Amino acid sequence: MNSPEATRFAEFLESLSARIGASDQGLGTVRDICESLHLAGAEPEGVTYAEVDAHGVPAMWAVPEGASGEHALVHFHMGGTVVASMHSDRKAAGHIAKAAGVRSLIVDFRRSPENPYPAQVDDALAAFEWLVAQGYRPANIGGVGHSVGGFLAVMLALTLRDQGKEQPGAIVSISPWCDLEIANDDIVGKATSDKLLTRELLELFRQCWLGGTGISYTDPRISLLHADLTGLAPTSLHWGDSEILAGEAVAFGERLVDAGVDVSIRPLAGGQHSFVIAGGRVPEVDEEIARMGSWVRDKLGVK
């Protein structure tokens, strides 16, 4: 991304990352800082919001004007399971929903370390099952997420598959956290170009999420680089090539192809981690969100 708006977005992320690194007030303060992530994006016009209880999971509808009444998205926010929320992701979810022409359920899944794995996957399943109980056919639901939310969008589908249940009709996974070993060369190689994530932050998130669970970092339940991807629903994979998770996204894309998944692979040149939060302010991001929306419309059959 080379526009002036993209440069300002990168500067915003760098400033926020510096505030996180300088904070010595504990996790509560870091969470408060991360709630300001929504400031990276503009308010999507013609989208309204309503909070709901989705089988015990707090969630928020983002409803674009003229949205299909038969289709929906289930949206999972960023934050490593530790920070961010449905509120900080509200604008990004609204932009994606508007591009797809459907309403989106933004899931406020439980955060760690208070709620370690598998609480977040359980909440994703509960929210999806709530959507089905509302009358949405699984094939008419798209799973969307970025960062750890990109992981959850994929793992929701894999878990449903393993339970013998119908998967969502499509998955949009953006900047997914695929490798809990934090071992890819890009963790070091792109440490300067990624203006938000650091190895230290990923290690903190990992400890909060998996600490005390006894789960291996290569366990297929938490690693998309070791999961069986056979039969996964059509997937659109996106990442920014400036982020430290780029290398593992490339590896995940190769695994999707090898598994025979119907997959669209779209790295964004110069893109930052979870670039969708800049929707409405950065032209390159808006163009990519438009492509996501068009892809979702095609896969879900939205008229």
Placement of tokens 């956290």 in the chain = 177
How much is the pLDDT for 1?
84
Residue 119, CB half-sphere, CA atoms under 13 Å: how many?
18
| CATH code, domain carrying 228 | 3.40.50.1820
- pLDDT (tens digit, 9 = 90+) per residue, 264-299? 999 999 999 999 999 999 999 999 999 999 999 999
Strand partners of residue 72: 103, 141
How much is the pLDDT for 22?
79
How much is the pLDDT for 164?
98
User: What is the rounded CA–CA span in Å between residue 146 and residue 126?
Assistant: 19
Domain count, the chain: 1
Q: Are 200 and 181 in contact (CB under 8 A)?
A: no
> Mean of the per-residue pLDDT values for the chain?
97
How much is the pLDDT for 34?
96
Q: Are 210 and 237 in contact (CB under 8 A)?
A: no
Task: Tell me the Ramachandran region of residue 270: left when phi exceeds 0, alpha when psi lies from -120 to 50, beta otherwise.
Answer: left
How much is the pLDDT for 23?
65
- Containing domain of residue 145, as a range? 4-300
Q: In what order do the strands lie in the sheet with 57-64?
A: 47-54, 57-64, 102-107, 68-76, 141-146, 170-174, 235-240, 263-268
Q: pLDDT exceeding 70 applies to what percent of the chain?
A: 100
Which positions of the chain have pLDDT values less than 70? 23
- pLDDT (tens digit, 9 = 90+) per residue, 33-85? 999 999 999 999 999 999 999 999 999 999 999 999 999 999 999 999 999 99
